[in-house]
A and B are shown apart, each in its own frame.
Chain A
């Protein structure tokens, strides 16, 4: 399977715990995005990387959220001191930018977080 892979698919945690999600993009893609989706809403942009550089992170929801893409391949999204309001589906998407970027993103199946 050469699609975008996300792990774990489901995570249940207690409030105050830290959680980390991993995303493996399509191998030749140089752009990687994180989105959050809550029930009844469309995906909400959080951050993105071009190769290993995090070029936009102002939309991360709070300083408890952080993301890395250390070698320009896989990425991790960490949420520290989780709160019940963090319960959502976290989506990863990747794309390849060449020339004029027309925006097609390829999405993974998401990681669902439940904070008790």
Chain B
């Protein structure tokens, strides 16, 4: 069964600093991978997805992620953090007979002024 593991339940960065949120996957087949963001009191929003095309995927709000098969990783990055990036971020993999998303436990990003 496909699964994802997010390393670090809380990450703090200074405004303007690099954001790096880690996600490793486990899959016996080429995975479809996703990053979603959840702002307080809002629904989850898709940031970006990897569907076996380009390994470097660009998403909304300046985020990008790189699929690295050799490392079974799909880390999320942003060169310069903004206060508005403070939110919870979830990595997910498409899995199961229902083709549902299986989510990691999430990483809460805090951006310090």
Q: Which residues of A contact B (CB under 8 A)?
A: 3-4, 33, 40-45, 48, 55-56, 91, 93, 101-110
- Residues on B with C-beta less than 8 A from A107 are 36, 43-45
- Residues on A with C-beta less than 8 A from B97 are 56
A-B contact pairs, 28 of them (CB 8 A): A4-B43, A40-B9, A40-B105, A40-B106, A42-B92, A42-B106, A43-B44, A43-B90, A45-B98, A45-B102, A48-B100, A55-B98, A56-B96, A56-B97, A56-B100, A91-B44, A93-B44, A101-B99, A102-B51, A102-B94, A103-B32, A103-B49, A103-B99, A103-B101, A104-B34, A105-B101, A107-B45, A110-B43
Tally chain B residues at the interface, Cβ within 8 Å. Answer: 26
With both beta carbons as reference points, the residue of chain A lying nearest to B36 in the complex is identified as A107
| B46 lies within 8 A of A41 (CB) | no
A-B contact count, CB below 8 Å? 63
Indicate whether B42 reaches chain A with its CB closer than 8 angstroms: yes
Q: Complex: how many Å from CA A110 to CA B9?
A: 22
Question: Given A91-B44, A108-B43, A109-B42, is A45 in contact with B101 using a C-beta cutoff of 8 Å?
Answer: yes
- Residues on A with C-beta less than 8 A from B51 are 102-103
- Residues on A with C-beta less than 8 A from B101 are 43, 45, 103, 105
- Residues on A with C-beta less than 8 A from B102 are 45
With both beta carbons as reference points, the residue of chain B lying nearest to A43 in the complex is identified as B103
Name B30-63 residues within 8 Å CB distance of A. 32, 34, 36, 41-46, 49, 51
Binary per-residue interface labels of chain B (63-83) against chain A in the complex, 1 for a CB within 8 Å, 0 otherwise: 000000000000000000000
